[in-house]
Every structure is written in C-alpha cells, then in structure tokens.
Chain A
Amino acid sequence: MRIALPDLSKPVPAGHLPALLGAVDFAIPAGFPSPAEDMTIKRCDLVELLGAHPQATFYMRVSGQSMVDAGIQDQDIIVIDRAIEPRHGHIVVAVVDNEFTCKRLHKRNGRVRLESANQTFPDIRPRDGQMLEIWGVVTASLTLFKP
C-alpha cells in the first residue's frame, strides 16, 4: 500500500495570485506593544496530538487481523510511545520469537499473557522461564482509506 503524503523534501511553490489584504481601520497607540506581535498562531498538528513524548514515539505497520476488535485493522499504522510504562490492559508491541507483535497486555495476579482482540486468534502465553519483552505501548492506530 502506498500512502500519499506531501513530499516535504522539496520546496513547495508559493501561489501565483497576489495576496489580498483587508484594509485596517484602527490606530495602534504608539509605544504600546501590539497584542498580536508575539502570538504565533500554530495550526492543530496531528503529530503533536499523537506524540506526547516526541523522542519516544515510533510508528509501525500492522500486518494481520488479530486486533480488529480493538479497532486495529490489517495495514494500519500504529503509534508507539515507549515513554509509557506498560500496564494491564494496554495495547502493546511485544517481542515474540524475535518479531514485533501487537496484542493487548494482560497482567493480573502474577500472570502475564498477550491477548488477541479477535476470537479466531489465540492468546500468547510465555513459555516457562520465558521473559516477555514489551517494546512499547500503542497509543493510537491510523486507518488510511484508499480513495
């Protein structure tokens, strides 16, 4: 699947039409700073919304159907925040047999397992003595619709 994202590595041409400015009709008192001067307006930014800890935020692509009931579709892009301490109930990326696996973390009464969110898929239980490595906590899933 190809995602159409704007290519920001090249300059984007500015529009050819002249910008129209509305006439302003008020006086600014001399010596008094304009209230708008130091207010840079920032647009809503998805990245800001998704990445509470920008340094610890990573993305992965999902392959498989085992998490559909949690709203994670095959080929979705998941957002992972490694700054979050994984707890019971979190959707996580774990390392299972050296591969990244997205599941829900079950951690109760000293038992740990990785649960699927799809009845047709089994849960993953660590074998005896096997350490379960959690790579990061999933904070969002993006489904991109093909137009």
Chain B
Amino acid sequence: MSASRYALVDGNNFYASCERVFRPSLEQQPLIVLSNNDGCAIARSNEAKELGIKMGAPWHTIKHLEREAGLVALSANFTLYGDISDRMMSLVSGFGHRQEIYSIDESFVDLTGIRGDLVARGQKLRQRVLQWLGIPICIGIGPTKTLAKLANHVAKDAERKRGSYPAEHAQVCDLTAVPAPALDALLMVTPAREVWGVGPRISDQLHNLGVFTVKDLRDMNPATVRSRWSVTLERTVRELQGVDCIDFDDAPAAKQEIACTRSFGGSVLEMEELAEAISAFAARVAEKLRLQGSHAGELLTFIRTSPFRQGAQYSRSAIMPMIPSTADTALLTKAALVSLRTIYRTGFKYAKAGVMALSLSPADQGQGELPFGVTPAGAKSELRAGLMATMDRVNDRYGRGSLHIARNESAAPTRQWSMKQERRTPHYTTDWQSIPLARA
C-alpha cells in the first residue's frame, strides 16, 4: 500500500476573485466583499489586504478608504459564488480519486498512489482553473490533511508575501517532496496557530509552554498532548508527524462555513432518497451551528454524480438566503429541500450530496431584520430557540436523529424579506436577465 497523499485546493480571495471575472475594471483595485446587510468585510483582494483591512472589519470603520484609497466594496453575491464554486469543484475533482468539499472554495483531494510530479500536475490544474473560470487557486500537498492544509498556507504566503517562504513553493507546495531539513526550516518559521484546528485559545496555552512554531508543536509528545488538552489536539500532532488520522467527518469546522456532505455507497437515483439524505444533513448542520452559537445567512445544497463512474454526469448546487439568519432545523431543512427540488434532474446516478451553511454570524448578534422576533414560519423566535435546545438535548441523550423535523411540504410558504444589499453585482451566470453585456 502506498503512503497517503492529500491535496487541499482552494480559491485565492475567492469571493473577490469571482467578482473580478465579470468586472474587469476591478482588476488591480482594492476590493472587499461585505457580509449580509453590508455589515463587515468577509473577503479581501490582495490590494485590500495591503491597505491593512482585516477580515471581519466592520464596514463603517473602513468606509473612509473608499475615497482615500479607491477601495471598492461589494455586497455578497452568493448566487454567483455558488455557481463558480460548483464549476471549480468539478474541475478540481479530476485531480485525484476522491474529493471532499470542505467549504465553498476549499476541497481535499485524495492523491494516494498517484505517481509523477505532483507539483507539475498541480500547476496544470491551476492553469486550467485560471483559464476556464478566471479564478486563481493555491494547492497544498501533504501526507495528511493537516499537512496539506499547512502546505496550502505556505503556497499562498510564498506567492503573496515575498520573503515569507522560498519562492519555489508559491501557488503549489508539495511538502512530501521537501527533504527533512528543509521541511523543518519551513515549520520553524510558521507559527503554531496556523495549524488547522489550533484556535487562538490553544495557541495561547501553547505559548505559555514555549511552543511557538509548527515544528515545536510537531515535536511534542502525543501522549502529553492528549492528557493536557484533548484527543483532537493529539490527532493534530500525529498528523503533523505524518500519520494520517483525520477522516473527513471528524475534520475541525472551517471558520466561515459549516458543512455536512457524504458520498453514497451505491448510486442514488431517486429524489425521495436524496431528500432523506439532504434533510439529515441540514439537521446536522443546524446542530453544528447551534453547538458553536452561530446563525447561517445562506444555505448551500449540492448534488453530483461521480466523475469516476461511467454514464452521464451532473453536478449542481443552489444557494438559499436565510433571512433572518438562523440555526433553526426546520427552516434550514426546508431551505435545503426547496433547493434540492430546484436542482434535481431525473436519470442521473447521484454519488454525493451535501449541505453547507455559509455567511455565519454569532447567534447573539441578531442583525435585527424586520419584523423583530418573528421567524418566517410565524413562530416566536424564543419559543423556537427553546424547541431547538430541547431537540439537541434529546438527540444528545438518545442518539443523533432520534428527534427530527418531519419533512413537510405543506409548511407555510416562506415569506420573502428583502435584505440590504445595496452593492450587489448581478447574478451573471444564473439568471438570463442578468447575463453580462458584450459590446459589438
């Protein structure tokens, strides 16, 4: 059996890059994308990063840069990003045997057993995605997912920040091809907090023990790590040591999205079966949201056939805005099922489906859309919150899925609240009325 190899492929400044594809005038300009209701920066072009704009910076604190530095701020166009993501994921899936979508712009690809120069292969994929979609990507390759993610960080910084890492690692970085002393040198200049799953709290605790760099963390004794912290951090340390031990479903949650996706053992043909799976995923996503105290502003649902099987291929995703943002199982399940109905086509053998919560915000910072305290289903939100908490307790005690929302097509129709999105670009690729104009 050959040693495991994974790639983490992601889009650079993904939302900003999507906007630039259809607005050439935004090239070279400092550009940010704002969260729902134009609250804060959720994506930044390199030029915007150079202006010192931080991720999550509230719009009103940086608005002055519009006049002073030519900053362009756009409202999030998740419909566009979802479609470009769908196209990108489909291209990236051809890079290895198995793909696990991790967030709207990131996926892991299993490269185990693939021979040849992986960096050259990666550059080719990068070139293809850039030409076909106009999206720049970075690729990190490692023997474990944690190291692949770290390699991706190296690939990004080597490209963007001159002098941070050797230039040969820019865009595509394969840690499995780096000799041990050079690898140590890379890990020594990378702070431990850059490691997947090491949050600020753990990073502070590590600091107190004199563990500053990724190399320090890698060289810790896993048993000590387990007794002092947790099995999760122990696993991270083992992964840094090159032992492949993170299954996709155990992966630490991404900061900006929460996802639940799965490949089906056989192939699924029927809507009914997919609906069953999608409801379960939506419920799981809702649970994860509540666990970390977040609300979702958008819900992405996708279904796809397997590119590795014979037969007609199909891959689609749909994004449903959740207004107001929510962690309510019933609302998220309903949104996912409506999306599924929109994208489902008969006659395909579906191999994978998933639900992803996007545009997350802390649950205690309700954006206060009108009407206050009323969910679209008409129930009082405190009551709903209580119901959800009870559901979580029941499921905790009796096992996941013991108590779930019945799929009910006759639920009250969702009311459409309009969201403040003054600066949104058109839905260039999903609405015939909004396709770009070409002069002739």
Contacts and interface: CB of A to CB of B under 8 A. Distances in A.
A60 B438 contact: yes
B312 A98 contact: no
A101 B438 contact: yes
A11 B131 contact: no
B180 to A, nearest CB: 39
Of the four ranges (under 10, 10 to 19, 20 to 34, 35 or more), the interface on chain A belongs to: 35 or more
B438 A78 contact: yes
Interface in B395-440: 428-429, 432-433, 435-440
Nearest to B339: A9
A40 interface: yes
B132 A56 contact: yes
Contacts, number: 81
Given A82-B132, A82-B133, A58 B429 contact: yes
B342 interface: yes
B439 A101 contact: yes
Contacts of B131: 56, 82-83
Contacts of B312: 40, 42
Contacts of A77: 432, 435
A60 B440 contact: no
A133 B24 contact: yes
A63 B24 contact: no
Interface string B256-285: 000000000000000000000000000000
A65 interface: yes
Interface string A1-12: 011010011010
B87 interface: yes
Interface of A: 2-3, 5, 8-9, 11, 40, 42, 53, 55-56, 58-67, 72, 74, 77-78, 82-83, 93, 95-96, 98-103, 116, 133, 135
Given A40-B312, A56-B133, A77-B432, 14 more contacts: A40-B347, A55-B90, A56-B87, A58-B435, A59-B429, A62-B440, A63-B440, A82-B132, A83-B131, A98-B25, A99-B24, A101-B438, A102-B438, A133-B24
